[in-house]
Chain A
Amino acid sequence: MAETVYFVTGASRGIGLEFINQLVKRSNSVVFAGVRNPLSLQKHYPTTPPNLHILQCDVTSDESVAAAVVTVSDAVGRVDVLVNNAGIDNGLSIRETSVDSFRSVLETNLVGVLRVTRAFLPLVLKSPVKKVINISSDYASIQLNDRAYCGAYNTSKAALNMLTIQYKNEYADEGVIFIPLHPGDVFPG
């Protein structure tokens, strides 16, 4: 079977780092790890496995994302599974959240996913697999969200869910699979 090409954003810590750890162990995988600062992931991999490629990819930067697309395109020409994992949380209630902080959370968690998905979809469309996994949260659920904190985060993830559905509607004919995915309630770090 052909190798599977993964691109994961926010790969330097938490769930993103764990994705990299588990994916590189798969013998038939090629893993592109997007991180704001490559050193933050390289420190976990003093010897880089042959199937791991660490890329500078800041999801809030058009230029950075565009450069990552070129690198992946030149190396393998497609992405089988795109994992939009990069996300931030200011930890604050909405009443404590400044407009600038709110905008910052949405810029990474929502606009960042749009930016990366727009840029990488041409490579996803070249894959026979065509999976886009957007890391969401159970607190994205209007029905389930009952907490009086992390207001910007919860809002960003609810909007991310709708963005994911919008993409699913628009790319159904091309066979692209879009999944908003709750990763479970995970310990930090």
Chain B
Amino acid sequence: MNVYDAKIPASESVKGIMKVIDKVTIQDSGKFLTNEGGTLPW
């Protein structure tokens, strides 16, 4: 939680995270994902 850069409520964050959790497969294992389903650089 980056409280200094707050932009979205926890409800919105978790809504996105739940979608990501529901759809990830073994092919996604080890990807650095975001609540919006994107990937981040290491």
User: A156 at interface (Cβ–Cβ under 8 A)?
Assistant: no
Query: Does the CB pair B3–A15 fall under 8 Å?
Result: no
Chain B's nearest CB lies how many Å from the CB of A34? 16
**Contact digits for A113-145, partner B, Cβ 8 Å, 1 yes 0 no:** 000000000000000000101001111111110
Q: Nearest Cβ distance between residue B39 and chain A, in whole angstroms?
A: 10
| Option from A133, A139, A142, A143 in Cβ contact (under 8 Å) with B2 | A139
Taking the complex as formed, is A181 at the interface, i.e. its CB lies under 8 A from any CB of chain B?
yes
B side interface size, CB within 8 A: 35
Given contacts A87-B1, A172-B29, A182-B32, contact A18 B24 (CB under 8 A): no
Decide if A185 touches B2 in the complex (CB within 8 Å). yes
B4 touching A177, Cβ below 8 Å: no
A176 CB-CB contact with B under 8 Å? yes
> How far is it, in angstroms, between the C-alpha of A160 and the C-alpha of B31 when the chains are bound?
13
Contacts of A150 in B (CB 8 A): 2, 4
Give chain B residues whose Cβ lies under 8 Å from the Cβ of A81: 21
Please judge, given known A-B contacts A142-B42, A144-B41, whether A14 and B34 are in contact too, CB under 8 Å.
Answer: no
In this complex, how many residues of chain A approach chain B with their Cβ under 8 Å: the count is 48
Residues of B within 8 A of A189 (CB): 10
Q: How far is the CA of A87 from the CA of B26 in the complex (A)?
A: 26
CB neighbors of A among B10-42 (8 A) = 10-18, 20-21, 24-26, 28-36, 40-42
Query: Do A176 and B29 have beta carbons less than 8 Å apart?
Result: yes
Q: Known: A22-B15, A177-B24, A186-B2. Is A15-B30 also a contact (CB below 8 A)? A: no
B32 & A141 in contact (Cβ 8 Å cutoff): yes
Given contacts A138-B2, A187-B9, A188-B1, 16 further A-B contacts (CB under 8 A): A22-B14, A89-B1, A137-B2, A141-B32, A141-B42, A172-B29, A178-B29, A179-B33, A182-B35, A184-B7, A184-B12, A185-B8, A186-B7, A187-B3, A187-B7, A187-B10
A: residues with CB less than 8 A from B are 14-15, 17-19, 21-23, 81, 83, 87, 89, 91, 131, 133, 136-144, 147, 149-150, 161, 164-165, 168-169, 172, 175-189
| Cβ contacts A to B, 29 pairs, < 8 Å | A17-B10, A81-B21, A83-B21, A91-B3, A138-B2, A139-B2, A141-B32, A142-B42, A143-B41, A149-B4, A150-B2, A177-B24, A178-B30, A179-B30, A180-B33, A181-B32, A181-B34, A181-B35, A182-B40, A184-B7, A184-B8, A184-B16, A184-B34, A185-B6, A185-B7, A186-B3, A186-B6, A186-B7, A188-B1
